[in-house]
Amino acid sequence: MEAIDLARVGLRMRNAQREYFRTGSQAKLRESKGLEARFDRCVAMILDGQKELDFGEEEGSLPA
């Protein structure tokens, strides 16, 4: 994992949060919470010195 990958996840997370607070959409709230969990896993991975992170079947790779 590189810093750019963490930044991309963080940006997507913040955008989803802004959209939720703007609209109150439950779908955006769920998206935001999912991205927060992904961000937390990315941070933990970096702090643990790992090189790869498995997001499971639903998430094949980091966002572009």
Whose tokens are 């941070």? That residue is 43
Query: Residue type at 26?
Result: Q
Q: What is the pLDDT of residue 60?
A: 46
Q: What is the pLDDT of residue 64?
A: 44
Q: Give 6-22 pLDDT, tens digit per residue.
A: 899 999 999 999 999 99
CA of residue 18 relative to chain centroid, distance: 14
- What six digits make up the tokens of 17? 């949060």
Query: Residue type at 9?
Result: V
pTM of full prediction above 0.95: no
- Alpha-helical (H) ranges within 1-64 are 3-23, 26-48
Q: Give 43-64 pLDDT, tens digit per residue.
A: 888 888 765 655 555 544 555 4
Domain ranges, ordered by start, for the chain: 3-48
